[in-house]
Structure 1
Amino acid sequence: MNSLPTISFLWPRMLWLLLLVPMLVALYAWHDRRRRRAAARYPALKITGLSGQGGSGWRRHFPAVLILLAVTSLLLAVARPQALMMLPSRLQTIILAMDTSGSMRAEDIKPNRIQAARQAAEIFVAAQPADVSVGVVSVAGTAAVAQAPTRRKEDVTAALERLQPQRGTALGNGLIIALVTLLPKAGIDVDRFMNESAKARDAKPPRRPEGARSGPGAPSDNGQGGRPLPREGEVAAAQPDNSGAIVLLSDGENNTGPEAIEAAQVAAEHGVRIYTVGIGTPDGVVITVDGWSSRVRLDETVLKKVADMTGGEYFRAEDAEALKKVYRLLSARLAFDKQDMVEITALFAALGALLAACAGLISLWWFGRVL
């Protein structure tokens, strides 16, 4: 059940004018008694209609009630009422964090993961309104801003076209760079974040999962290195920042740098939502890079956790067409209802004028006089 809208007043001191309403009621009652007495004393007035006794009781008072409501509405308008309303809105800035690691060469999505991701991202960018800025961050062994946030869609598309697979995957690094790009004035110290993360990993050697292989592309710590992972509900729920969001597209594998969970914790502290898109298949495929062969799979665990921690949402795409559908769905998700105080003085004034006009017309129709 929806709650009633919250109404406040910009000029609350003017509400004392509402004291005029009971005074008008008393004045009308006094005047009505006088007319009744006059009608009883001079019956001939009923014939001329001067006593105001025409019609049944409720009809006689109905125009006066409308006038009373009209005056009340106009007096409320003087106090400048405003209501808390849900208004449709959109994010002002979106950062696309694109995984460009070697595993994105995998061809379990045709023609391969990175090309499918690029094509779908271009469709997503083209669908954004003209007043939305989009930036691109490339995420591999290191992260770099491929395109600063801009409203020029052709610049964003050109940046996406330049993305090429590179060695390593540092999802945490990519997310923290995306966060700094989104919130340049938030004072996020990237160097400090990296140093603290490195010290934490050095102090607590990562545990290799049972049966894990060594070699290029092997995960470094099973997602448990760096800071201790926060449990459900441990991250302070900051007020969502509806000015921007991060969209991370990745297969979820991470083998260097800070953990994605650590960066997600920083994003959550700043109220930034991260929407994650998992690209690939759980079984994965075998790829060969520099003579080393390894199977690259879609690792959804971290991607789901990142989205959950920040109030975002996780999407999964196992083929190019599904990926395009995900981006279309994302466009709808990034539109939201924003609560805002809206002045409604004009509504109260219009209602008062309408009620007064109706009172005059009804009185003229029933009794042959305006009031």
Structure 2
Amino acid sequence: MSLTGFNSPWWLLFLLVIAGLVVGYLIALRARQRNIMKFTNLALLDTVAPRRPHAERHIPAVLMLVGLALLTVALASPTKEQRVPRDRATVILAIDTSLSMEATDVTPSRLVAAQEAAIDFAEGLPEGLNLGLVSYAGTASVLVPPTTDRAPVASAINRLELSERTATGEAIFTSLQAIESIAAIIPGEDEPPPAHIVLISDGKQTVPADLDAPRGAFTAARLSGERDIPVSTISFGTMIGSVVIEDQVIPVPVDEASMQDIAAMSGGEFYAAASQEELAAVYETLESQIGYEIRRGDASQPWLILGTLFIAIAGGIALVVSRRIP
């Protein structure tokens, strides 16, 4: 039972009272022994103080004191870290659908593997979390606005189609707009709900060519960081990937460098995956980090249960051994 603190620590002062009871019990034992020795008639001594196993006499009292100590800890309201599903957060999944995603260096292809892993990721997120889907190639589109319904997200992922060019910056800008839209209609809080963008890509930005352009990926990443919306990037594929376009074999190596920079500028995390299994592991990590948060929760119940059991057992043993409650 690991603890992170107490909500009512002053109750722990009662442990001093329990310590006093221990001292009082030991004093009472010594006083009882002195009183017994005052009897000179040995026959009467056996009647007044019959011999019993030494340890057996003390078991009920020891259990009672331990039970009181456990109940004292429970009264102090101990806390521990608990993994709690987020119920107001928004996540945008942005998937690269440029032609390079047709490469088969990842079986059966980069796109198909990304689709299967993305659906598993969507279905594994907490039910109360809003999930949206953005696809991007030469432009970016919100295929599914943030919603708690996973069915339209999974359906849209299955219908992804490839297109020319890669506008990574537009993907981030579009994701930010989708987050702003859902934040405006979520009631009950003064501050917008936490948000996160998960961007998966296999290549570098081609539109615009300059990553620092007004609509470039680096510009979008900095804006996302200013709004406290991290972009976690996944570089998906290998350095030996290629596609065939008009009978020409075109190399499409992954661009990990730009993905690392985007994540760093926005306050997100960078991941690299060269297979469907690695991608699934990355999504599992993101699911744990984004979909859940660590909070201090009540941890008094185990202490309450144990304390009650100890005291109940102490009473039962006392009734059997000495026919009285200690």
- TM > 0.5 between the two? yes
User: How far, CA to CA, are the matches of 1:25 and 1:116 in structure 2?
Assistant: 66
| Structure 1 residue 342 corresponds to structure 2 residue 294 | no
Q: Provide closer, same or farther for how the CA distance between residues 46 and 173 of structure 1 changes in structure 2, counting only shifts above 3 A.
A: farther
| Structure 1 residue 82 corresponds to structure 2 residue 78 | yes
Amino acid across the alignment from 2:73:
L
Match of 1:314 among 271, 294, 298: 271
Equivalence for 1:351 = 306
CA contact (8 A) 1:95 1:245 kept: yes
CA contact (8 A) 1:39 1:45 kept: no
User: How far, CA to CA, are the matches of 1:112 and 1:349 in structure 2?
Assistant: 56
CA contact (8 A) 1:172 1:259 kept: yes
User: How far, CA to CA, are the matches of 2:103 and 2:309 in structure 1?
Assistant: 68
Amino acid across the alignment from 2:271:
Y
5+ long unaligned stretches in structure 2: 185-192
Q: Provide closer, same or farther for how the CA distance between residues 159 and 347 of structure 1 changes in structure 2, counting only shifts above 3 A.
A: same
Equivalence for 2:46 = 47
Q: Provide closer, same or farther for how the CA distance between residues 150 and 33 of structure 1 changes in structure 2, counting only shifts above 3 A.
A: same
Shift of 1:147: 1.0
Shift of 1:97: 0.5
Shift of 1:343: 1.4
Amino acid across the alignment from 1:254:
Q
| Structure 1 residue 361 corresponds to structure 2 residue 316 | yes
| Structure 1 residue 5 corresponds to structure 2 residue 7 | no
Equivalence for 2:188 = none
Equivalence for 1:68 = 65
Equivalence for 1:159 = 156
User: How far, CA to CA, are the matches of 1:51 and 1:266 in structure 2?
Assistant: 85
CA contact (8 A) 1:105 1:287 kept: no
User: How far, CA to CA, are the matches of 2:312 and 2:225 in structure 1?
Assistant: 55
- Once the two structures are overlaid, the 10-residue window that deviates more, 292-301 or 90-99, is 292-301
Identical aligned pairs, as a percentage?
Answer: 31
1:335 match: secondary structure: helix
| Structure 1 residue 299 corresponds to structure 2 residue 255 | yes
Cα deviation per residue 1:251-289 (whole Å; 9 max; x = unaligned)?
A: 22212154434444455562635141424653533535x
CA contact (8 A) 1:35 1:51 kept: no
CA contact (8 A) 1:137 1:178 kept: yes
Equivalence for 1:207 = none
Equivalence for 1:287 = 245
Match of 1:250 among 201, 214, 220: 201
Q: Provide closer, same or farther for how the CA distance between residues 32 and 77 of structure 1 changes in structure 2, counting only shifts above 3 A.
A: same
2:240 match: secondary structure: coil
Q: Provide closer, same or farther for how the CA distance between residues 122 and 59 of structure 1 changes in structure 2, counting only shifts above 3 A.
A: closer
TM-score (norm 2): 0.72
2:314 match: secondary structure: helix
Q: Provide closer, same or farther for how the CA distance between residues 46 and 141 of structure 1 changes in structure 2, counting only shifts above 3 A.
A: farther
| Structure 1 residue 170 corresponds to structure 2 residue 167 | yes
Amino acid across the alignment from 2:135:
S
1:298 match: secondary structure: coil
2:37 match: secondary structure: helix
Shift of 1:68: 1.7
| Structure 1 residue 272 corresponds to structure 2 residue 230 | yes
1:282 match: secondary structure: coil
Shift of 1:148: 0.9
CA contact (8 A) 1:84 1:339 kept: no
Q: Provide closer, same or farther for how the CA distance between residues 363 and 268 of structure 1 changes in structure 2, counting only shifts above 3 A.
A: farther
| Structure 1 residue 260 corresponds to structure 2 residue 217 | yes
2:234 match: secondary structure: strand
Cα deviation per residue 1:126-163 (whole Å; 9 max; x = unaligned)?
A: 55564454211122343332211223233113433554
Q: Provide closer, same or farther for how the CA distance between residues 313 and 135 of structure 1 changes in structure 2, counting only shifts above 3 A.
A: same
Amino acid across the alignment from 2:204:
E
5+ long unaligned stretches in structure 1: 188-241
Q: Provide closer, same or farther for how the CA distance between residues 342 and 181 of structure 1 changes in structure 2, counting only shifts above 3 A.
A: same
